[in-house]
Amino acid sequence: MAPDIPLISLFLASIFTSNILLANFLGMCSFIAISKDMNSSNGLGLAVVVVLTFTTAVNWAVLNYVLIPLDLVYLRFIVFIIVIASVVQMLEMIIDRVSQTLYLSLGIFLPLITVNCAILGVSLFMEIRQYTFVQSTVYGLGSGLGWWLAIMALSAIRKKTEKSKVPAGLQGAGLTFITIGFMAMAFIGFTGLLQVQ
Amino acid sequence: MELHNLELAYFIAPLAISGISAALAALVSVTDRIVNNYGDAVININDGSKSLDVKGGTNMLLTLAENQIFIPSACGGRGSCGECKVKVKSDVGPHLPTEIPYLTREQIDGNVRLSCQVKIKSDVDIEIPDYLFKIKQYTGTVERIRDVTHDIKEVYLKLEDGQAVDFRAGQYGQIETPPYGKVRERTQRAYSMSSRPSDSNHAEFLIRLVPGGIVTTYVHEHLKEGEKIKIIAPFGEFYVRDTDATMICVAGGSGMAPFKSIFYDFIEKGRMNERDIWYFFGARTRKDLFYLDELQQMQDEYERFHFIAALSEPQPEDNWTGETGLITEVLDRYLKNEISPDKPKEGYLCGSPGMLDACMDVMRSNEMAEDRIYFDKFA
């Protein structure tokens, strides 16, 4: 049974209270690697929004019209990943055409969106929580926006900490981990305000 | 009945997966057709002095090369040498992060681009120096290949169909090797030409084996007499400036090549005694030295030509009586004690990047003007 949640609260919940990055800790690799540059963060964030929205919608259709009727739900991991890979490939071609600068600054992380755990994670949550098509799409979009928000926030913080005095041992990744910890704690403050399932 | 259902189930999963994959693959290839189809474009060169109809979608360096216009590129389009600069007059988007390190502020403002990084997406206007039109692709047949030291081969090519290469002594060419062994792509690397410009239907190169090097390994282990190989030439700013300044030439290893061409060109034109020439050649041991007799003979014949070979690690069995030490130390000694300080000097360098930098330091510290030191750096 699909959960009975108003779309607006599902949307806000997926951005804030159940932020895919800071509540579920999915999609960390590119989050940490790319957040050192704000422009690339913005581009990657946008790419994740698009990929998440599309893949969740397509995966919902594939799940409900192919896998469930044929009793093949156990194949969902493979099928979801194939869908994600193709969507990313198409997106890669489009970005290459539209903006070479963004294409080069995203570099290897663009094809690696394919194995970004956040993307597969959202599709799997969608299946576990038995969302409807509209709910899935809203949840995908919201999660993408949440990921974008989180990476922009982190890259803004890193831009500040870059210029501050940091003990040698904590420079770079060390301080970033601590910052992410604080951010996650701040997001915990939202817990219980909205329901995601 | 149950058995029948079971058999059917065996096929459903693979069929479903194949069906989904096929649908997605079709979608990807349709997107590819639409998105990556840039159609035809026109490249307008030097205000209409030449215009090319090309297919969009590939980078400018390759597109121009397909149309027999060869922009210098020592790295073959990998964006690591910064040689393939072209002034682009139409808007092709902002400079890419891969280009910026190779461009000066003025070049960026003047919209100079690395042609290997610019994709042809629509009609463009570009400006390239006229001499680039001289650069052509030649096919050469190996007439002679021989070892001049244990790791340097002298490769003498006869150009096909009476073609002639028009170059200045000291310039370089690019050798292109076909795919071989584990190397899947055609590969180009730059080598100085050691042949004389007057011998224009031949080209000669001195190629030192670089462990793991794609082209050098091909030349040393696969290339045989009678085989064909492609070269693109001539490139580079390394040629003798027409002044009467003292020439201070420094080379190491296969850096001998451009000087061989330069000196024989001088002899042919009867200009060997017009100016003072000091040629320093550095090697590790006696077995790394070559062309000694020829150069010795040149020194005996022309009083203003001086040849100094130096060994950095002479072996006991070498019985070496000449200069020893690093070539930079020898150069420093001669600049301070032997070479007349009153006359203006020009530096000509050919060798490894490390050697070039070290020699530049020595020349600068001996008050040679930096803008009169010439070299081609192959990345």
CATH number at residue B197: 2.40.30.10
Q: Are residues B161 and B150 in the same domain?
A: yes
Q: Which residues in chain B have Cβ-Cβ distances shorter than 8 Å to A83?
A: 20, 24
Please report whether residue B289 resides in a domain: yes
The answer to whether residue B10 sits within a structural domain is no
Tokens representing residue A12 in the block: 């806000």
Same domain assignment for residues B66 and B79: yes
> In which domain, by residue range, is A100 found?
7-188
Tell me what pLDDT residue B3 has.
53
Residues B266 and B360 in one domain: yes
Residue B139 and residue B128 in one domain: no
Bond from prior residue into B234 cis (ω within 30 degrees of 0): yes
H-helix segments, B148-278: 214-221, 256-268
Confidence of residue A1 (pLDDT cuts 50, 70, 90): low
Please state the domain count of chain B.
3
Q: Which residues of A touch B97 (CB under 8 A)?
A: 101, 104-105
User: Within 13 Å, how many C-alpha atoms sit on residue B373's CB side?
Assistant: 19
Domain boundary among B101, B116, B132: B132
Query: Do residues B191 and B125 both lie within one domain?
Result: no
pLDDT tens-digit series, residues B144-156: 999 999 999 999 9
Residue B4, in any domain of the structure: no
- In A72-172, alpha helices (H): 76-98, 100-106, 117-128, 133-162
Compute CA distances B119 → A107, B65, B75, B334, B362, whole Å: 17, 14, 18, 50, 42
Residues 6+ apart with CB under 8 A from B20: A62, A66, A79, A82, A83
A79 vs chain B: nearest CA distance in angstroms?
Answer: 7
Q: Do B31 and A101 touch (CB under 8 A)?
A: no
For residue B172, being part of any structural domain is answered with: yes
- Note whether residue A167 is domain-resident: yes
Q: A105–B97: do the CB atoms touch at under 8 Å?
A: yes
In a domain, residue B5? The reply is: no
The answer to whether B359 and B347 have CB atoms below 8 angstroms apart is yes
How distant, in Å, are the alpha carbons of A155, B155, B156, B161 from that of B145?
59, 5, 6, 20
Tokens 């077995």 -> residue: B287
**B82 and B181 together in one domain:** no
Residue A193 maps to a domain: no
Question: CATH code at B344?
Answer: 3.40.50.80
| Domain match, B193 and B288 both | no
Give B42→chain A minimum CA distance, Å: 19
Per-residue tens of pLDDT for chain B, all 379 residues: 455 666 777 788 888 889 999 999 999 999 988 888 888 889 999 888 888 898 888 889 989 988 888 888 877 788 888 888 999 998 888 888 888 889 999 999 999 999 998 888 889 999 988 878 888 889 999 999 999 999 999 999 999 888 899 899 999 999 999 888 888 878 888 999 999 999 999 999 999 999 988 999 999 999 999 999 999 989 888 999 999 899 999 999 899 999 999 999 999 999 998 899 999 999 999 999 999 999 999 999 999 999 999 999 999 888 898 899 999 999 999 999 988 888 899 999 998 888 999 999 999 999 899 889 998 876 4
Q: Pseudo-torsion of CA B100, B105, B106, B111, nearest 10°?
A: 30
Pick the residue of B18, B31, B117 with the most A CBs within 10 A to test the interface with A by mutation: B31
In A, which residues are within 8 Å of B32 by CB distance? 93
The verdict on residue B7 lying in a domain is no
Bridge partners of B345? B246
Å from A118 to nearest chain B CA?
21
Task: Give the range of the structural domain holding residue B53, as residue numbers without chain letter.
Answer: 40-132
Q: What angle do CA B82, A107, B21 make, to 5 degrees?
A: 130
Whether residues B91 and B210 fall in one domain: no
In a domain, B250, yes or no: yes
Please tell me whether residues B113 and B159 are part of one structural domain. no
Which residue of chain A comes nearest to B33, CA vs CA?
A: A93
Residue B15 lies in a domain: no
A196 in any annotated domain: no
**A39 contact partners, CB below 8 Å, separation of at least 6:** A105
Q: Which residues contact A16 (CB under 8 A, 6 or more apart)?
A: A146, A187, A190, A193, A194
* Chain A residues with a Cβ under 8 Å from any Cβ in chain B: 62, 66-67, 70-72, 75, 78-79, 82-83, 86, 89-90, 93-94, 96-97, 99-101, 104-105
**Cα–Cα distance, A182 to A170 (Å, whole number):** 15
Q: What is the pLDDT of residues A53-111, one digit of tens each?
A: 989 999 999 999 999 998 888 989 999 999 999 989 988 888 888 877 778 767 777 78
Return the DSSP state at B371. G
Tokens of B218: 């091909």
